[in-house]
Chains A and B, each alone.
Chain A
Amino acid sequence: DAKTTQPPSMDCAEGRAANLPCNHSTISGNEYVYWYRQIHSQGPQYIIHGLKNNETNEMASLIITEDRKSSTLILPHATLRDTAVYYCIVRVDGSNYKLTFGKGTLLTVNP
């Protein structure tokens, strides 16, 4: 699976949009981009995933660049409860072997 690069930390004001970037310049054509988040001391939680097209669900939006070398997770109206570590992972769908997580981005939402 391709390697990802994320900033170690970011801040966001409550009520504003949080835009979390992820670089995956070595991504291959059959690899999906997945986002998870981990709220303090809990197990990570799936947020969203995508291949080429932008995706939106009740939690967030995922914007993938046309060359697929980077993506952005958008939390449209961040709340204090969105303070968490956000992980970006790329993987071949159906490939369940040796799934690895990097250190992610610690997003702090400030009042």
Chain B
Amino acid sequence: DAGITQSPRHKVTETGTPVTLRCHQTENHRYMYWYRQDPGHGLRLIHYSYGVKDTDKGEVSDGYSVSRSKTEDFLLTLESATSSQTSVYFCAISGWTGGANVLTFGAGSRLTVL
């Protein structure tokens, strides 16, 4: 997706290992978000950021931490991955486009925890 990239796109890891997902934007938007998506649950907000070093929790933040040391990067860390964190993770940025405050999503990162 233009202006927002996620890495890695796919990752397989073992229970108990740390994992960091990266979201990079080139739009200079202030707001960034991490969501997870699981069958039957739709998109659920994990954490979001409203500026450099300014972050807050979403509805499913337990087991996750985030950091934003510069405008373009928003990192999601699983300190000790568990099988319940197997999911597809989407990053999003929020900005004004044509009079609308629009969320633009990345392509997703598929994480499998064995």
The interface of chain A, by Cβ under 8 A from chain B, is: 32, 34, 36, 41-46, 49, 85, 87, 91, 93-94, 96-104
Contact = CB atoms under 8 A, between A and B. Distances in A.
A100 B102 CA distance: 13
28 contacts: A32-B101, A34-B100, A42-B107, A43-B106, A43-B108, A44-B43, A44-B90, A44-B103, A44-B105, A45-B105, A46-B100, A46-B102, A46-B104, A87-B42, A93-B101, A96-B30, A96-B31, A96-B94, A96-B101, A97-B50, A98-B56, A98-B58, A99-B94, A100-B43, A101-B43, A101-B44, A103-B40, A103-B42
A107 to B, nearest CB: 15
Interface residues of B, number: 30
Nearest to B41: A103
Given A42-B108, A98-B58, A99-B33, 12 more contacts: A34-B100, A41-B88, A41-B108, A44-B90, A44-B105, A46-B97, A46-B104, A87-B43, A96-B50, A96-B94, A98-B48, A100-B44
Contact of B59 (A46, A85, A100): A100
Main secondary structure of the interface of B (DSSP, over half): strand
